[in-house]
Structure 1
Amino acid sequence: MNSPETAAESGATPPICSAKGCRADAVWVLAWNNPKLHTPERRKTWLACEEHREHLSSFLDVRGFLKEVVTLAEWESGADGRAGRDPGERP
């Protein structure tokens, strides 16, 4: 059985930070929801590098949108019960 390929091995572009102008690799997934627009279970996602995690989290949190922050590896593996979704994928 072959081992799974990483993004670098497969030639895929690794996910990058959602902060404006940032091209750093993403490390964090910030799951959020605007209750005026989305159903309660809906999760939108932003990706963040180490440098922008706090800034992006604060931006969402002050508006009451931030639902959870997990590592990209946890999000992709489904370690918290999500069954391995890609960032940005609808529940």
Structure 2
Amino acid sequence: MIKCSRAGCLSPATHRVVWRNPRIHTADREKIWLACDEHVDFLSDYLRAREFPVEVREGVA
């Protein structure tokens, strides 16, 4: 089982939160956090609040 990236969460991941920090990453660089259904909005909102480009994708494969 692949678990959620939210600190302390042990739930299975069901989404990929794909993001990058444009101040230090080139446009072709992607960072990925894995999220369960409960935390996908929390993690993506956290990144959007920092004005990072974010895309949520279904599945973890």
Same fold (TM over 0.5): yes
Report the structure, 1 or 2, having the larger helix content: 1
CA contact (8 A) 1:30 1:66 kept: no
Which of 53, 58, 79 is the equivalent residue of 2:40?
Answer: 53
Identity in percent: 41
CA contact (8 A) 1:28 1:48 kept: yes
Which structure 2 residue ranges, 5 or more long, are not aligned?
none
Deviation of residue 36 (structure 1)?
Answer: 1.1
1:53-72 to structure 2, matched below 5 A, reads 53-72=40-59
Paired residues, number: 61
Aligned to 2:13: 26
**Structure-2-length-normalised TM-score:** 0.90
Report the structure, 1 or 2, having the larger strand content: 2
After TM superposition, which residue ranges in structure 1, 4 or more long, deviate above 3 angstroms? none
What is the rounded CA distance, in whole Å, between the counterparts of 1:64 and 1:43 in structure 2?
15
RMSD across aligned C-alpha pairs, in angstroms? 1.1
Which protein shows a greater Rg?
A: 1
**Structure-1-length-normalised TM-score:** 0.63
